[in-house]
Structure 1
Amino acid sequence: MKRPFVLSGGGNRGFAHLGVLKAFAEKDIFPEAIAATSAGSIIGALICDGYMPEEILELAVHNKLYSMFDWAFPLKSLMSLRPLQEFLTRYLRHKKFEDLPIPLFITATNMNTGHQAIFDKGEIIPAVIAACSIPLVFPAKIIDGIAYADGGICSNLPLEPLLLHQYEDIIGIYVNPLPDYNEKAHFSELFDRLMHLMIRENVVRNIGHCSIFIEPPLLSHYGIFDEKKKRMIFEEGYKYAQERLETLDDDGPVDTFIG
């Protein structure tokens, strides 16, 4: 069985997408197409390229996907996505959207207009970098003279391309559950919470278009920069999706809940 998937952003929490996709694969449910942004676009690009979830996890565990900048002024960002570009250049086998065996739609934010940009033609890697460019954290990505930033600004559950192309029975995976507010939280935790509060409304708007919506609650214990917890994050996604799918099975065949 094949169904369209939409993968949210979420920094290193994005590795939960892999666990969720593994759980669906064990139920013989595979991507018909993927729409994704930010961290989800990394996962989406590699899945559509033909990698299995566990293969992607192993590649990611042994590679850094971002790095700190050497400080220079005027300061425009805190980190660099050069390691991600090198990672994708090395491991992505199909470099153009048109060559992928599974259709892929990547979204970013046009910094000139503030509108959502959809990439589904041409080079994949620049689109992924654009989709991952969190403002102030990473530099904007320039493509054809236009500056692009993280697609989650416009829509962090970016199913718009799937609706545009009339895909049905969409499965949404969102990896940013809000933890309880802690006024004593570290700066990075507060930044993470503030960022997702600002964009959560566009997520709520899109949930209703999903036949199944997966949001593993225990991911709230992990930060977007938890570089050393990729395996744990993967397992959180896998275990939660397994539980959800078993619940659906108890009530009837899975396809009756997503078709």
Structure 2
Amino acid sequence: MASLARVGRVGIALSAGSARGIAHIGVLKVLTEAGVPIDCIAGTSAGAVIGGIYAATLNLNLMERLACHIKWDILVDLCVPRLGLVSGEKIKEFLRLLTHDKTFAELAIPFAAVACDLEEGTEVVLREGPVAEAIRASISIPGIAVPVRLGGRLLVDGAVLNRVPVNAVRAMGADYVIACNLTGRAGRARVRVENIFDVITTAIELMEMEILKGKIVEADIVISPDVGDIGPTRLDMAPELIKRGEEATREALPRILEEIGVNEPS
């Protein structure tokens, strides 16, 4: 095949999705193996976790191994309810370890984490300071995790306002945006609601999906792994989630490579 002229900067927008966010690992694996350049990443909630760790380490093999062994008791520290059921200190320390306690300026790839200012009701794109703190803010699911006070703002999960941060990737200078949306390929499938975490995350997700409809069209292409039948707390489904992320990305890959001007791997 003749050499193609590459478009400018390629950016990735990784959506929220709770445990289903593990599928983002499969998406990134296929893109990187195919030689798709990743010039910047923005993530919301679970997308911020995967995007931030990848931007800090560039080690998808490690991320996959970790995802397949992680359990909630490693991450969750219950507290006396005031602003949330989970204090979030355990997961923040875990994130510091996985990101090597890097600041945004030290990352291998430009990265942004999207949160929501609960008091102002505005979207906040975090690109400065310790990465772990920004990710912790982005995953503060209202009613579950205690909000994060950062820079004078009370921050919660960015998915409240922006489930798939396409606009944040554009603002980082991306000319071509690949969005990964984890709401399910053909709409939301029926899932089992088994605990309070499922109740809250599922209810919030339903509201977020309505907000999402007018925003995701701003992406150049949307990868939608078929994960709607997997519950939001099913960390035990990590291998299957990664597999579905890979499958959806392989399906979209020929179009992506053609549009960004990269030859298909031989």
Aligned pairs for 1:95-174 (under 5 A) are 95-174=102-181
Offset, 1:227:
1.9
Offset, 1:159:
1.8
Is the Cα contact below 8 Å between 1:12 and 1:39 reproduced in 2? Answer: yes
Is the Cα contact below 8 Å between 2:10 and 2:39 reproduced in 1? Answer: yes
Give CA deviations for 1:59-115 in whole Å, capped at 9, x if unaligned. 233344631515x3x543223433321222222135110111210011100011010
Offset, 1:161:
2.0
Is the Cα contact below 8 Å between 1:107 and 1:131 reproduced in 2? Answer: yes
Residue aligning to 1:251: none
Q: Aligned to 1:78, what secondary structure does the other structure show?
A: coil
Q: Aligned to 2:63, what secondary structure does the other structure show?
A: helix
Offset, 1:150:
0.1
Structure 2: which amino acid aligns with 1:168? D
Is the Cα contact below 8 Å between 2:15 and 2:181 reproduced in 1? Answer: yes
Q: 1:28 aligns with which of 35, 47, 52?
A: 35
Distance 2:189 2:126 in 1: 35
Give CA deviations for 1:28-77 in whole Å, capped at 9, x if unaligned. 1131100111011111111111323222121233344631515x3x5432
Unaligned runs of 5+ in 2: 1-5, 262-266
Distance 1:49 1:187 in 2: 33
Is the Cα contact below 8 Å between 1:13 and 1:176 reproduced in 2? Answer: no
Q: Say which is worse superposed, 158-167 or 109-118, in terms of deviation.
A: 158-167
Give CA deviations for 1:106-156 in whole Å, capped at 9, x if unaligned. 110001101001111111111100000000011101113321000000100
Is the Cα contact below 8 Å between 2:190 and 2:229 reproduced in 1? Answer: no
Distance 1:200 1:221 in 2: 15
Structure 1: which amino acid aligns with 2:258? T
* C-alpha distance 190-67 of structure 1, shift in aligned 2 (>3 A): closer
Q: 2:25 aligns with which of 18, 41, 49?
A: 18
Q: Aligned to 1:18, what secondary structure does the other structure show?
A: helix
Residue aligning to 2:56: 49
Residue aligning to 2:3: none
Residue aligning to 1:208: 217
1:83 equivalenced with 2:87 (yes/no): no
Structure 2: which amino acid aligns with 1:197? L
Distance 1:78 1:67 in 2: 9
CA RMSD of aligned residues (A): 2.3
Distance 1:239 1:48 in 2: 23
Distance 2:219 2:127 in 1: 21
Unaligned runs of 5+ in 1: 249-253
Structure 2: which amino acid aligns with 1:257? E
Q: 1:196 aligns with which of 205, 212, 221?
A: 205
Q: 2:258 aligns with which of 241, 256, 259?
A: 256
Distance 1:181 1:222 in 2: 9
Is the Cα contact below 8 Å between 1:63 and 1:87 reproduced in 2? Answer: no
* Equivalences, count: 249
Query: TM-score, normalising length from structure 1?
Result: 0.87
Give CA deviations for 1:209-257 in whole Å, capped at 9, x if unaligned. 111101112x0121111121112111111122112325x3xxxxx4333
Offset, 1:204:
1.7
Q: Aligned to 2:237, what secondary structure does the other structure show?
A: helix
Q: 1:38 aligns with which of 18, 34, 45?
A: 45
Residue aligning to 2:253: 245
* C-alpha distance 126-98 of structure 1, shift in aligned 2 (>3 A): same
